[in-house]
């Protein structure tokens, strides 16, 4: 039997999401397609039987009761499950659902022909039930598409892990059975089952299911990898650094499963609305059927004639007033919005955050790891007595053995350093100053201004570039001579400026940066990105204090608005939690991001913040369109029904037609969000 939903009750699938996405996802998906195919077969069979019944009615003068039996065949074929759901609703105390309304209306239409002076409505009753099922078919299709929008994340869930165990060779086990520290073999085409570190091999990883980005990520020995990525090229060995329950893939799946628990204001309103609306509609229909006949009865218009007329109008009233279009399409819109956002690498933890995102007036950013890469890199080279290539050559070789990030930045800027055969000897590290070494036949010092003063090299400061200044001096004719300096800085992300510009275009009035970095560095980044304001040298507690101030100002302005905080989710957890909506950057590498934030961006692109705002506004716009359209059409046809100007076909359109159109409109929320 085809499963049905009580869209007018709190048990709505879209409202509660009680079924875990992780459990038997593929089998449930297959079952859903089977249900749709079964419904299509029943609809086609009903159309054939209905046409046959109409032909029999026109060809043979059958008594009323025999004609009823003829039409009962297609009616029961298409409506048996609706009748069953109505009865079950009555038994379980959930009488006022759409199945009950449809059952009462169609059974009333079948019976109305037996009243004196009334026309038969057998065909109309079957048509109402038929179109109701057609509406359910489109609803089921839309539901499946919406679930696919989120369920594509289930593709990241690995099925097996190939574990190398001492004395037992390679064993295939469930990812949950892998212990931290064990070595996992990942072949080309397979998913990485747990977060870990590559201990052997190099390859390219497909991260599209996690980030929405199609560009492969190159990894080699020593690099961290996260579960859910697909190995594209070569076999690699990975040492697990987390259990499955703590891995990225597990946390994402858990996040998606519970995304529906936080309802938006629109969804909460619709749930309350249906709880009150449906009983009122039923009582109103009863009043329409009973009160007017007694008030309008006269010797020219007997009670039976009046009763059949107003009963028909009451049945039309019931059909029209079914709130399916609202109760189905509004939650479906938000469900589709969450699914569409996830396709773009944006995980929203509940539809309630769409309300907040759509009304952002202030967006606060952390700097390191959010607007910048959080990695040192050479930004400028200023030689004094040699060219840039030679200056980098000397500095990179002197820093050959250091593990300091500045040394890594210098080596990265001169990739030939490790293979050019130049010998480095007599390495001496001077604490708090730098490193002295012999590169080939030259003595070189690389360090800060204090080291230049120590060796007696006359140096000059960098007046144009902001960042960490690394000075270089060499021995010439027995004396230390200044060779130039290198500026090392945390690189600004390529799309950070575009992200700020997009937010301003969307009407976000204030873009603020809170950072613990130095004032001159913060000022430089703020100017380059076009931020409204910045605050530097902050400790975590200082950031929370600034957030409190911004929240207070946002509430007291003429146009009250919400405040978002965008951070890397590790040391910014208190601010993420305090903001109206916390948006975590860099979900691929940050456990705290998934834990603390309300919205998780599964890559490091700041422009996804503006995209999340556009998705939220579009989703809310679609939900409002459905509410206005459904209520407007229903009110118009309800008025006509009470006045006796509506037909059963109008009633069918006001219910099923409006529902189908609203469902199709809701499906627009699933559209490729990158084009918004």
The single-letter DSSP state of residue 101 is H
CA distance 176 to 170: 16
Q: State both tokens at 360.
A: 């952002």
Residues whose CB is less than 8 angstroms from the CB of residue 275 and which lie 6 or more positions away in sequence, other chains included: 10
CA distance 616 to 669: 10
H or E stretch covering 544: helix 540-556
CA distance 178 to 246: 12
Q: What is the rounded end-to-end Cα distance, in angstroms, of the chain?
A: 40
The single-letter DSSP state of residue 369 is I
Residues whose CB is less than 8 angstroms from the CB of residue 206 and which lie 6 or more positions away in sequence, other chains included: 216, 229, 230, 232
E-strand ranges in 112-263 read 161-165, 169-173, 183-186, 196-200, 203-206, 217-219, 224-225, 230-231, 236-240
Evaluate whether 371 touches 378 at the Cβ level (below 8 Å). Answer: no
Q: Which residue has the tokens 């709190």?
A: 10
DSSP string, 122-160: HHHHHHHHHHHHHHHHHHHHHHHHHHHHHHGGGGGS---
359 three-class SS: coil
Residues whose CB is less than 8 angstroms from the CB of residue 134 and which lie 6 or more positions away in sequence, other chains included: 43, 656, 660
* Strands 479-492 and 468-476, sheet pairing: antiparallel
The half-sphere exposure of 52 on its side-chain side, counting CA atoms within 13 A, is 13
Residues whose CB is less than 8 angstroms from the CB of residue 488 and which lie 6 or more positions away in sequence, other chains included: 376, 377, 378, 379, 406, 409, 410, 467, 468, 469, 470
195 three-class SS: coil
3-state helix, strand, coil in the chain (%, to 5): 55, 20, 30
Name the residues annotated as catalytic. 366
Q: Which candidate, 360, 410, 406, 374, places its Cα nearest to that of 516?
A: 374
CA distance 327 to 158: 36
């Amino acid at each position: 039997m085809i499963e049905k939903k009580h869209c007018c009750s709190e048990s709505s699938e879209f409202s509660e999401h009680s079924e875990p996405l992780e459990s038997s996802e593929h089998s449930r998906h297959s079952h859903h397609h089977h249900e749709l195919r079964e419904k299509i077969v029943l609809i086609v069979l009903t159309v054939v039987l209905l046409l046959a019944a109409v032909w029999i009615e026109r060809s043979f003068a059958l008594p009323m009761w025999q004609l009823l039996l003829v039409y009962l065949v297609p009616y029961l074929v298409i409506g048996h499950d609706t009748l069953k759901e109505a009865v079950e609703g009555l038994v379980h105390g959930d009488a006022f659902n759409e199945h009950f309304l449809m059952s009462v209306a169609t059974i009333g239409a079948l019976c109305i022909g037996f009243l004196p002076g009334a026309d038969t409505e057998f065909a109309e009753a079957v048509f109402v039930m038929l179109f109701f099922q057609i509406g359910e078919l489109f609803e089921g299709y839309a539901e499946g598409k919406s679930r696919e929008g989120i369920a594509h994340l289930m593709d990241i869930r690995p099925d097996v892990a190939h574990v190398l165990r001492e004395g037992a060779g390679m064993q295939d086990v469930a990812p949950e059975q892998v212990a931290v520290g064990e070595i996992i073999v990942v072949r080309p085409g397979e998913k990485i089952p747990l977060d870990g570190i590559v201990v052997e091999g190099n390859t390219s990883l497909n991260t599209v299911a996690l980030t929405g980005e199609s560009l492969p990520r190159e990894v080699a020995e020593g690099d961290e990898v996260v579960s859910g990525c697909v190995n594209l090229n070569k076999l690699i060995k990975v040492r697990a650094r987390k259990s499955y329950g703590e891995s990225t893939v597990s946390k994402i799946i858990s996040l998606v499963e519970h995304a529906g628990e936080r309802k938006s204001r629109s969804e909460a309103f619709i749930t309350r609305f249906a709880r009150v609306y449906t009983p009122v509609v039923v009582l109103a229909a009863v009043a329409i059927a009973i009160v007017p006949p007694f008030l309008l009865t006269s010797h020219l218009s007997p009670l039976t004639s009046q009763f059949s007329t107003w009963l028909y109008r009451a049945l039309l009233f019931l059909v029209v007033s079914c709130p399916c279009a609202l109760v189905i399409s509004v939650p479906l819109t938000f469900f589709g919005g969450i699914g569409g956002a996830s396709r773009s690498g944006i995980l929203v933890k509940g539809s309630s955050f769409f309300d907040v995102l759509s009304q952002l007036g202030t967006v606060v950013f952390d700097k390191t790891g959010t607007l910048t890469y959080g990695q040192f890199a050479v930004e400028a080279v200023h030689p004094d007595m040699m060219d840039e290539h030679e200056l980098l050559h000397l500095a990179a070789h002197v820093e050959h053995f250091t593990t300091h990030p500045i040394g890594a930045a210098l080596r990265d800027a001169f990739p030939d350093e490790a293979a050019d055969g130049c010998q480095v000897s007599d390495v001496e590290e001077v604490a708090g100053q730098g490193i002295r070494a012999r590169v080939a036949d030259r003595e070189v010092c690389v360090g800060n201004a204090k080291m230049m003063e120590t060796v007696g090299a006359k140096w000059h400061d960098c007046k144009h570039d902001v960042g960490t200044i690394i000075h270089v001096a060499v021995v010439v004719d027995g004396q230390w001579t200044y060779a130039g300096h290198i500026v090392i800085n945390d690189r600004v992300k390529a799309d950070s400026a575009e992200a700020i510009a997009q937010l301003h275009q969307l009407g976000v009035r204030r873009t603020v940066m809170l950072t613990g970095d130095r004032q001159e560095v913060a000022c430089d980044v703020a100017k380059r990105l076009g931020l409204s304001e910045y605050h530097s040298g902050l400790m975590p507690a200082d950031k929370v204090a600034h957030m409190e101030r911004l929240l207070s100002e946002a509430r007291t302005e003429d146009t009250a608005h919400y405040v978002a905080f965008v951070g890397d989710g590790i040391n910014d957890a208190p601010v993420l939690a305090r903001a109206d909506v916390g948006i975590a950057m860099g979900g691929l590498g940050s456990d705290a991001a998934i834990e603390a934030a309300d919205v998780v961006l599964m890559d490091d692109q700041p422009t996804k913040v503006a995209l999340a705002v556009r998705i939220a506004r579009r989703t809310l716009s679609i939900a409002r369109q459905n509410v206005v359209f459904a209520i407007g059409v229903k009110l118009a046809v309800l008025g006509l029904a009470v006045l006796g100007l509506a037909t059963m076909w109008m009633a069918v359109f006001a219910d099923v037609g409006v529902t189908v159109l609203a469902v199709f409109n809701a499906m627009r929320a699933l559209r490729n969000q990158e084009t918004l």
